[in-house]
Amino acid sequence: MVHDWHEWHRAYDQPGSPLWQRLEKVRSCIGDALTAAPPGPIQVISMCAGQARDLLGVLAGHARAGDVHGRLVELDPDLAADARENASARIDVLVADAGLSDAYEGAVPADLVLACGVFGNISAEDTRHAIESLPMLCAPGAKVIWTRTRRPPDFTPQIRSWFADASFEELTFVTAPHTSFGVGMHRFDGTPLPFRPHVRFFDFVGYGVLSLDTVCVQCGFEYHMARSEITQWLRSDSAAFVARFDEVAEHARVRPAPEVWSPLEYACHVRDVLRVQRARVEQAQHEEEPAFAPMGRDERAINDRYNDQDPAVVRGELLAAAEDLASYLDALDNAGWRRAGIYNYPEPQPRTVEWIGVHTVHELRHHRGDIGTLA
Ligand SMILES: C[S@@+](CC[C@H](N)C(=O)[O-])C[C@H]1O[C@@H](n2cnc3c(N)ncnc32)[C@H](O)[C@@H]1O
């Protein structure tokens, strides 16, 4: 399936989410690189730039912003348009394949190269090839800022050694506690290679293709998430859910079609899912592979008169239920996360507490999308 990169970017708006934390680190590296740049123009390129929240977020308040020129390369025209809207006239936004050297013609050699959200979406072989090709894009002393998940098997040590092999000196490699991302900044100390058009650096295939995890065919959610990130996503996604719920407050009780739940009914459902999951993970701690009782999704909506409940109360209960589940999970040790029970979805099978945590993040995101079309 095609990954929804628009939805992916929305996690940047969830303060505290791992992606939000990654953005903070990347911005800090960009700020440092700009501050350290010698006087004069600073040429920047960004591969797979998305909305370019990293660079443009820094330029909004940096003393060297007026010196920055460059090119952002992004394949998705809508994301590129978002970037263009916030970019100065000195920065052009190109809708093109960032894996091909042609996208950078006329915009290199660069003093700063951004490769954020790229290496986790291309094969190992392409990652090595892309790093080896960077001297074709870099001016002497150029800085390259890159990101890569460290989810097992952690590939970042390999990436760092490929940078070293290609004459890059590591300036920093950072992460954040309980997250899986890594952010690196390297300086090019080698001899630049002449630019050549029509060179393929990489094929962007997407992490969903690279991983063997399952994907929700409806919303695109991918069941791969570091254990340490699960409770952070539970908190930030529950906050994002109620934010979307607030946006549709006027229609909270309106069903878009007779058979489709109203936002309020979805919010009640999500609150109850959080509560039920909390009970299940606790049950799994005390019983040997218990068979979880079905939650009775549709019956609850009728018996508990979901659509007659008070939206403000439901909103608060949902956040409290998310926090309750997240705190309970935070307190578990390794053995606790690995305990399991028989889960009925999509068909009865043993599921670990860890899987239940990831699946609950999926519930939050999936149903946020369900109420998103009403605004
Ligand atoms: C993981 S996001 C990273 C976005 C941005 N660099 C960031 O870190 O916030 C990957 C981006 O690559 C874009 N993309 C996918 N294939 C591409 C390609 N062949 N060339 C350029 N961009 C591509 C996607 O549309 C998406 O915006």
Q: Where are the domains of the chain?
A: 5-207, 227-374
Task: Please give the pLDDT value at position 25.
Answer: 98
Number of helices (H) and strands (E) in the chain: give both, helices first. 13, 9
Task: Please give the pLDDT value at position 3.
Answer: 65
Task: Please give the pLDDT value at position 348.
Answer: 78
**Strands of 138-149's sheet in order across:** 91-95, 68-74, 42-47, 110-115, 138-149, 181-188, 168-174
Task: Please give the pLDDT value at position 366.
Answer: 92
Task: Please give the pLDDT value at position 257.
Answer: 87
> Matching CATH topology for 5-207 and 227-374?
no
pLDDT in tens, 204-260: 988 766 654 577 767 778 888 889 999 999 999 999 999 999 999 999 999 998 889
Task: Please give the pLDDT value at position 324.
Answer: 98
Rg (CA), the chain: 23
- Provide the residue type at 14 as one letter: Q
Task: Please give the pLDDT value at position 143.
Answer: 98
- Closest residue CA from atom 12 of ligand 1: 48
Task: Please give the pLDDT value at position 375.
Answer: 33
> For domain 5-207, is the CATH number 3.20.10.10?
no
Distance from the CA of 323 to the center of ligand 1, in angstroms? 32
CA proximity to 353, closest of 293, 258, 282, 296: 282
What CATH number should be reported for the domain whose range is 227-374?
Answer: 1.20.120.450
pTM of the model: 0.74
Positions in the chain short of pLDDT 70 = 1-3, 208-213, 217, 372-375
Q: List residues near ligand 1 (CB under 6 A).
A: 5, 48-50, 53-54, 73-76, 79, 97-99, 116-117, 204
